[in-house]
Structure 1
Amino acid sequence: MTSARYPQPNAFTPLRTAHLGGKRAAGVKDVLAAGELVLTSGRLVACDPLIQPERSPFTRPLVPGSYPVYLFVAKAGGTIGFAEVRLGAAAVVRFEMAALPGQDAATLGPRETFCYPVDTGLGCFADEVALIRLREADAARRQHPDDPGYYDAVVRPGLLANGGTWLNHRPAPDAADNVVFFRSGDGDGSYPTWFGLDADDRVVCVVTSFRCFPEPETAEDKQARLAEGFAPLIAAVERDIGEGLRARGFVGPEATYKLKDRELKLVYTRDGLSFEVLSSAHDNYHLFTTQFRWARGRATLDVGNEHRKAGIELDLKPGIAVGDAAFLHAARLGASYTAHWDALEPAVLGYLPVKRKK
């Protein structure tokens, strides 16, 4: 099964598993039971119910029924980090982005999600029918100028009765459908929702993240972070060396990263001969150790050595380059390399002979 490109709420999985097992996961202050959500039509909506009660339901329908809602409160900040509608106790094997009509999760990139906006510090789960009733009840109150309004008269007192964190509310007292209000993490923002699916692709939960629990870093996240950290160094090499290499028939660069040790290997190639830039990052990419070398197969040749053999003074000092000095390091090499290409190429090819293609 191909993994989705968009982010997943991976931090939620161990929290849910622990709660199902009667335990409290690390980083969780409390798990609040916010009552049962009644889905009469099966058309689930997640939104800020006070500013967007007309929001469309998700395209994936759910089986009508009554399902418990749980709110996972983070120790850090004491805020609600995840809100879950639990449809079953089976393990989640994958998450699917909850989408509205007209949205296609296949168009999302590695750092993109669909979200709903919050402007009142509140999110909710509700059946579409319940939100229609909420809109009608709110509109009825607006007909009376002296009425304090739906939030002040109904929502605020209900929230306060539950410690200011949640409210299970029936907009029409004679109807079963309801709206489960809850505080949205640290407040206003935009927050994503996913369907959690079991091994048989059945929905076992719906979860909204309010970004209060740190997500474990994936290999893709680390790759992106490495690329971002090394980007200024790559740009300097490209600017000062790459153009000259490509003018002489080299192609590239090709960048590869070693995640564990935060290392970059930048390679330009021509006829089996490679010009390589090897760099390691330290101290949040403020410090770099960088090596420039020629390579063919397993044989390598330090760039500085060939400068010296050719009698060319190279303004490169060994050791660690700090901050912008790491990029100036590449610039000085580029200037020296380009200026003395005719003297350097024979020395390099003499040590690393290449059989050129006919």
Structure 2
Amino acid sequence: MKPTNEWMKIWKEKRDILSGPNDLNEYFELDEIAGQKLDWLSFGKVSVPSGEILVRDPLVYLNKDEEPYFEKVPTGEFEAVGAVVVSEEDCARYAAVRVKFNDNKAVRFGEALLGHEDIKDLEEGEYFGFNVDAGLGTILDKETLLAFDEFFMNWHKENPEGNIYDDYFADIFKKNYEENPKYQRDGGDWINWCVPGTNLYMPIFQSGFGDGTYPVYFGYDENDSICCLIIEFIDIKMAYEDEEQ
């Protein structure tokens, strides 16, 4: 759905509020935030043939009618990288995931939106984000979404009593853990999944602390062009500031 002129006017006026509270570059440039050690993990490539991109929970909130963000991104194949909070007291937590579309540095961030959210009364600290109910997130293109939906529907026709995670994805996650155990639990925490019968990749990964609602931001370079997308699963300073003190 194309945003209205009135919505676009409010969106521009709300730029500061929609920018989020943190410099998200830090998640991928610093090796420690709020006393928490950070490392980085590649989830492999994301296929972006159309430039219409979206972020969703792949098992609960993904069907062919889901809308992409109204701003288009560069097309091609790009690497998804997770910023990992490494702790001796807890499992590795994926605090953020970034897809860089080029080598330009983001000088500002703005929440990725569909273009029809009720942003008029949005207050400081509020965001829209995407919902997670299966403990997982994915980044994918609109074309990949249509291919995924076809696969998903056909799988359920062939397995009417089946659970697609338990009966299909669980083995793929476990295999990836066995091949790439770093920063994964033994059941697996990420995969670089290609929709069967296509060459379209959509990495799937754990969502920080699990179920919830998480913001997604576009990073803009000095020319105000989109240069990256970042999911913020954990506000590290907020989540760990008590431990640091």
Q: TM-score, normalised by structure 1?
A: 0.54
- Matched residue SS, 1:214: helix
How far apart, in 2, do the equivalents of 1:212 and 1:180 lie? 22
Match of 2:51 in 1: 42
Match of 1:4 in 2: 16
How far apart, in 2, do the equivalents of 1:107 and 1:176 lie? 42
- Matched residue SS, 2:27: helix
How far apart, in 2, do the equivalents of 1:140 and 1:42 lie? 26
1:121 aligned onto 2:131: no
How far apart, in 1, do the equivalents of 2:80 and 2:100 lie? 6
Deviations 1:38-61 (A, max 9, x none): 101111110101111122110000
1:56 aligned onto 2:79: no
Deviations 1:87-125 (A, max 9, x none): 123222110110013126564210211111100000110
Instruction: Check conservation: 2:19, 2:110, Cα contact below 8 A.
Output: no
- Cα offset for 1:145? 4.1
Deviations 1:283-304 (A, max 9, x none): xxxxxxxxxxxxxxxxxxxxxx
Structure 2: give runs of 5+ residues left out of the alignment. 1-11, 178-183, 240-245
- Cα offset for 1:150? 2.6
One-letter identity of the residue aligned with 2:86: K
- Segment of structure 1 superposing worse, 183-192 or 144-153: 144-153
Q: 1:105 to 1:201 in 2, by over 3 A?
A: farther
| Correspondence 1:279-358 to 2 at 5 A | none
- Segment of structure 1 superposing worse, 7-16 or 49-58: 7-16
1:144 aligned onto 2:158: yes
How far apart, in 1, do the equivalents of 2:168 and 2:151 lie? 11
- Cα offset for 1:147? 6.5
Match of 2:237 in 1: 214
Structure 1 moving runs of 4+ over 3 Å: 104-107, 145-149
Deviations 1:107-164 (A, max 9, x none): 4210211111100000110111112211211211211347644322332222222331
Percent of paired sites with the same residue? 24
- Matched residue SS, 1:14: helix
One-letter identity of the residue aligned with 1:39: V
How far apart, in 2, do the equivalents of 1:88 and 1:215 lie? 30
Rg (Cα) greater in structure: 1
One-letter identity of the residue aligned with 2:49: T
How far apart, in 2, do the equivalents of 1:215 and 1:13 lie? 16
RMSD: 2.4
Match of 1:204 in 2: 227
Q: TM-score, normalised by structure 2?
A: 0.77
- Matched residue SS, 2:17: coil
Match of 1:132 in 2: 146
One-letter identity of the residue aligned with 2:191: L
One-letter identity of the residue aligned with 1:16: F
| Correspondence 1:219-230 to 2 at 5 A | none
Instruction: Check conservation: 2:82, 2:98, Cα contact below 8 A.
Output: yes
One-letter identity of the residue aligned with 2:22: N
Higher relative contact order (CA 8 A, sep 6+): 2
- Segment of structure 1 superposing worse, 73-82 or 41-50: 73-82
| Higher normalized helix content (fraction of residues) | 1
